[in-house]
Chains A and B, each alone.
Chain A
Amino acid sequence: MPVAPGAVLREPAHRVSRRAVLMWTMQALVVLALLLAAQVVWWLVDDAPSRTPHWVVGAVWLVAGAAYAVAMPQWRYRVHRWEATPRAIYTQSGWLWQERRIAPLGRVQTVDLERGPVAQLLGLAAVTITTASAAGPVTIHGLDLPVAHELVDALTAAAVAETGDAT
């Protein structure tokens, strides 16, 4: 899904890994599991004879949560794209709120590779590129691990080549 039809900039060239959909789904399921746990605790603690509120609340979050777990990962996958050239990094992310970020590599300060538990399970990684601005970290989620390593190496090489304090 394009951020802006008819915009001057084209979309970034690459999609993230197809397995990212699975990762986002699992993350959504973790949230649902936490909600379920809260619901169970409430069920056990509540002394009131009527169980109607439990069913109503449970049904509400179950419907909303199921929609979230099904729609969000697909939507995200269609939005998330990235591209790195020798001069700049360009990403597109989000689902309801979408954003594109562009940072020239000359301003890059650190490049981080990060793997959460779910990402490790699926052989994925996230790459975060920070600049001197606290508002400007660029993160690409759901990259295949080899792709992520390659990207980090390329970015690090480019960042080292630049001099100056990047502010």
Chain B
Amino acid sequence: MTEDAEGWRRLDARMLLVHPLETLIRFLPALLALVVFRAGSEDNDRWELYAVPLIVAFGVLRWVTTRYRIADGQIELRRGLFTKQTTTARLDKVRTIDLTARVYHRVLGLAKVEISTAGGQRDRLVLDSLGVDAGRRLRAELLHRVDPAVTGLPAPTGAPVADDDVPDDVPPPVDDEVLVRLDPSWIRYAPLTVTGLASAAAIVGFASQGLSRFSQERSVFRDGATFVSRLAWWVDVLLLLGVVSLLAVGAYVLTFWGFRLTRNRLGTLHTRRGLLTNRETSIDAARVRGIRLDEPLGLRLAGARRLKVVTSGLLREQGGSDWLCPPAPAGVVTPLALRIRPDEAAVSGPLTPHGPAARRRRMTRALVPATLAAAGLVVARVLWDWHGSLLVLVPMLFAGAVALGRDRYGALGHTVTPDHLVSRHGSLDRQRVVLDRDGIIGWKVEQSFFQRRVGVATLVATTAAGAQHYDVVDVPVEMAYAVLAQVSPDLSAEFS
């Protein structure tokens, strides 16, 4: 299906196969429930089969009614039969483009294209689905503003491309520089991150729920559970660590397998990753407002870190679209950060510490919860006769709190370079943000009652990108205003 006279293009016809499949997967729990329910009844009427033609008809309808075009510097998406809905976005507002191909997309040579513009979630256009080639060409057209009429390149069409025309792994064009490529040995860092542990915990929770259904009848599980509960406690701990690590590694492989970061000559950053679901994200260089070096405790102890991008209009900040490098050795990540933001002082230079008041506040915050927990343990021992050996935890709590407080103070710091504002904080989730000075669109100076008493403030730089605001925590007030004056001299002069 090529474009019509007005330049309208359709989705790929192969989406007609994807749609029933997606619907099926979405209603899988309902279907399973139906099957289970049916097993107990004698009703032979397979009325759910009537749904199949309906679903197919709905897919066809969606295909027929969905059209998009690029015209007059805009991309327009039109869909709906009864309520015609037209979404329009100016091409110069396009921030990032995601190409996602789940397993069934990949089998059919399709990809879902998501275009995000200024303003985030509300202003996104989703084309589900185009052929992979058509999607890539659309992306090139949008991000590079290629005007077919000017360059003489063939206009992208929505035409189906035969499966064998789409190579499984298209090598980057010659002029794209490869900035980083996943080294399989980095997978060893997977269990060290909270993300990895969280996904592992999710899988364990899901699995244990599923298993508990069967454990009533199946003796295998019951015997297994009895066996585990009889082992020494340290064997249990080792077992748990082993399982969690394995799952974290699994999640890492699923998400980051084949990770590759490239940059084309226009500076557009392009990541590609995923074992089963392939995901490609393109980030317009003009939208990048800085980078974030993450050094969570686990990674830091192993000499590793990861790199994220601070940019406006990303679709899935949680889903890892903003990752420029998965957990990797510092020797890889720091040079990579320098290639994206060539500012040695900002990326790895020393930071100005925030002084004794900030240090006391870190300590208080670590010690107060520890004291409460310790008091709770003592009370429990006295009132409810908890086991005395639990009191061993009290000194451990305090030692941990002191170590945490010191580490958190050690992280606090900021610096201003000719192009960037740098701020670092956190211990378990330490991050160093390198924010472009011209990406800062406003300031806040926040002071709680206690901060006022000790003369510190939290300086907040607001931005349209990433987390929307980046904080310099517990900096002495004079220093906060000095930073403000240094980064935005005209604003500061206006009110001083």
Contact = CB atoms under 8 A, between A and B. Distances in A.
A8 B442 contact: no
B495 interface: yes
Nearest to A165: B118
B318 interface: no
Interface in B457-492: 457, 460, 462-465, 467-469, 477-478, 480-482, 484-485, 488, 490-492
B457 A4 contact: yes
A136 B118 CA distance: 16
B151 interface: no
Contact of A99 (B93, B446, B463, B491): B446
Contact of A134 (B455, B468, B485, B496): B468
A14 B92 CA distance: 39
Q: Looking at B92, B463, B464, which has the most chain A CB atoms within 10 Å of its CB? A: B464
A53 interface: no
Q: Is the interface of A mostly helix, strand, loop or mixed?
A: loop
Interface string A83-120: 10101101000001111111110010000000000000
A4 B481 contact: yes
Contacts of B447: 3-4, 97-99
Nearest to B441: A107
B357 to A, nearest CB: 13
A4 B452 CA distance: 7
A138 B441 CA distance: 12
A92 B447 CA distance: 11
A86 to B, nearest CB: 9
A90 B441 contact: no
A96 B449 CA distance: 5
B441 A98 contact: no
Contact of B441 (A10, A87, A167): A167
A161 B395 CA distance: 63
Interface string A37-78: 000000000000000000000000000000000000000000
B299 to A, nearest CB: 27
Given A90-B495, A133-B463, A165-B118, A102 B442 contact: yes
A166 B443 contact: no
B66 interface: no
Given A132-B118, A133-B463, A135-B460, A3 B445 contact: yes
B448 interface: yes
B445 A8 contact: no
Contact of B462 (A10, A96, A135): A135
A83 B494 CA distance: 10
B444 interface: yes
Interface string A127-161: 00001111110100000000000000000000000
Interface size class of B (residues with CB under 8 A): 35 or more
Given A133-B469, A165-B93, A97 B464 contact: no
Contacts of B193: none
Contacts of B492: 8-9
Contacts of A7: 477-478, 481
B97 to A, nearest CB: 17
Contacts of A104: 441-442, 488, 491
Contacts of B481: 4, 7-9
Nearest to A98: B447
A18 to B, nearest CB: 24
A87 B488 CA distance: 12
A90 to B, nearest CB: 5
Interface of A: 3-4, 6-10, 12, 83, 85, 87-88, 90, 96-104, 107, 131-136, 138, 165-167
Interface of B: 92-93, 118, 120, 287, 312, 441-449, 452, 455, 457, 460, 462-465, 467-469, 477-478, 480-482, 484-485, 488, 490-492, 494-496
Given A83-B495, A98-B447, 11 more contacts: A6-B477, A9-B481, A100-B444, A100-B445, A102-B484, A102-B491, A103-B442, A104-B491, A107-B441, A136-B469, A165-B93
28 contacts: A4-B457, A4-B481, A9-B492, A10-B495, A87-B491, A88-B494, A97-B447, A97-B449, A98-B452, A100-B445, A101-B443, A102-B444, A102-B495, A103-B442, A132-B312, A132-B464, A133-B442, A133-B468, A134-B468, A135-B444, A135-B469, A136-B444, A136-B468, A165-B92, A165-B118, A166-B464, A167-B312, A167-B441
